[in-house]
Structure 1
């Protein structure tokens, strides 16, 4: 019986931060341990081109995301791991799917709608600052997913719509030309769908509230101490629900440590002590990956070798599926 395919990717639009790890990398790595499925992991560098148009940063961020995956335990011998731009079949499928995608579907995409709304509020032309990469982003994501007949796609809550759009596009293709593309399903970790940043809002580069995933020990401690808390006195009970500190703590602590911290919240604990313990478990769990991360960045030739091998594997699968699709449309 054929193994189900699990596919996920991360855009290299900045330095890796805790939100990337907790919301995407960690759940994906846990799935990679499941030998009953085929894991496909990629660096979505073409997606990043919408916002990163400095060649040096573009290359730097790509290496950093690759190093992050590898240092945190992704085993390229057990999964397919590649750079999106090394698999040209993705862009060929992107064009085919574009010809089958109604413009109205793209008009409803969250990222485009948000940009139009922003322009309207500022009195600008509705499409000011909108390039075609932003507008057709969901079609490229659909190509990423559908080219590999993915069964499951782990995503953050804000990416669910893109998987739904990929299903719509696949259904349209299958109705038009016959069944050739599997319909993917999204997988979301509800409890970690929104990772809080330093100011309590969603951790995001655009908010400037991120915690770098591989910050050195002193810098990490300083950043954890900056996390915004309320004015509840130390002796008063606190609710773990909605607590930025507890949300971060439980992602790095053992089950026993997490339950002990929950009890401390119920009894009463000062925010300063919570921050101290959050830093300690984070630093403990990230110290070895941090060392490996910088080792990889100092040996980019090894990263290139790993990605090239992954691209070769990916293209074998991609070429076969693209050939089938092209035959069905008459190419």
Structure 2
């Protein structure tokens, strides 16, 4: 019998999910969760959140919002394993074990660490490591533990995250060399077709730019936010280029091919920006109406979400516990009798 391929994705809990998160990560992951030929692992990366967010209320709110979002959009928790990172104590233990084989020189090359050092050097700080925590420095090891704990074959990531999968391979390979074959070495999956959406100001939609369109805004707020999207000064009836338009970019990420073709023709005819904004709002609102209702129901029933996550954690620990016992044995951490 052929072993199912395991795919694993983590969602950092530092903000409210937005349209860019949906088309870039949530939608393809939910589709994968329904694939019976695949074992899908999805987790709330709440330990990772602590690296860059020291606001307890924000982390707590984001954990709930992210969980409710994935469930409202149809994550198949019967087929997929959905859990909080912090509910799996085997992960931080494996992180320490992997830290003991991970080369510091490897971590020195991590993009996030190098970028933080570069900022300090540009600001002529006396200490190039000023303000850099061990969490930031060593989080590639935590990420490796997330992946290697479940022997994930494939890890869907953005191009900026490929290095972390390569580091997980290096760390897992080093452990295998020292203690015998233990870990599957993961493969980064980068879907070049995955949409990266622009925000209301035309830059990449990102919490750090404060330019996002939250996924489940109430209807009136969604309309108001879409009306704020930046456009150029072309008048109605003037032909417009959809390739340079945030409104079209967002529409294209959600609409059918036939609808996209129709709107592309309206751009050539010179659709007015106000009309296009209303068209986009109506289209998105129709798609999001039902999941928005489910989201509201879940947000009002945290006990239900908690139950689902704890059931997911139980499934995850049924794999992680025996595997960690094997790892302990290989490293000499054995009981005396």
TM-score with structure 1 length normalisation?
Answer: 0.94
Moved more, 117-126 or 10-19: 117-126
Distance apart, 1:69 and its partner CA: 0.6
Aligned to 2:58: 57
Q: CA deviation at 1:264?
A: 2.5
CA distance in 1: counterparts of 2:234 and 2:326, whole angstroms: 62
Determine the structure 2 residue equivalent to 1:46: 47
Alignment of 1:1-331 (within 5 A): 1-124=2-125, 125-192=127-194, 194-331=196-333
Select between 166-175 and 306-315 the one with higher mean Cα deviation: 166-175
Give, in angstroms, the shift of residue 128 of structure 1.
1.9
Contact 1:154 1:186 in 2 (8 A): yes
User: Deviations along 1:89-108, whole A, 9 cap, x unmatched?
Assistant: 11111011111111121121
- Relative distance call for 1:121 and 1:55 in structure 2 (3 A) is same
- Whether the 8 Å CA contact 2:43–2:82 is kept in 1: the answer is yes
Structure 1 residues 178 and 24: CA distance shift in structure 2, 3 A: same
For residues 113-138 of structure 1, give each alpha carbon's deviation from its aligned partner in whole angstroms, at most 9, with x where no partner exists.
Answer: 22122222223332222111111111
Q: In the aligned structure 1, how far is the partner of 2:309 from the partner of 2:276?
A: 40
User: Structure 1 residues 284, 94: CA separation in 2 closer, same or farther (over 3 Å shift)?
Assistant: same
Taking the aligned partners of 2:131 and 2:12, their CA distance within structure 1 comes to 20
Task: Render the CA deviation track for 1:220-275: whole Å, top value 9, x for unaligned.
Answer: 11111211222344444443334322221122212221222223334432332222
**1:269 alignment partner, SS class:** coil
Larger Rg: 2
Preserved contact between residue 157 and residue 193 of structure 1 (Cα < 8 Å): no
The Cα of 1:276 is off from its aligned counterpart by 1.8
How far is 1:142 from its partner? Answer: 0.8
Q: State the alpha-carbon separation in 1 of the partners of residues 265 and 122 from structure 2.
A: 46
Distance apart, 1:218 and its partner CA: 1.1
Contact 2:30 2:76 in 1 (8 A): no
Maintained 8 Å contact 1:27/1:154: no
Whole-angstrom CA distance in 2 between matches of 1:319 and 1:131: 29
Supply the distance in 2 between the matched residues of 1:242 and 1:158 (Cα, whole angstroms): 23
2:251/2:280 contact within 8 Å kept:
yes
Tell me, yes or no, if the aligned pair for 2:205 and 2:212 is still in contact at 8 Å: yes
For residues 240 and 203 of structure 2, the distance between their equivalents in structure 1, rounded to whole angstroms, comes to 19
RMSD: 1.7
- Taking the aligned partners of 1:10 and 1:257, their CA distance within structure 2 comes to 31
Instruction: Return the alpha-carbon distance in structure 1 between the equivalents of residues 3 and 106 of structure 2.
Output: 32
Count of aligned pairs between the two proteins = 331
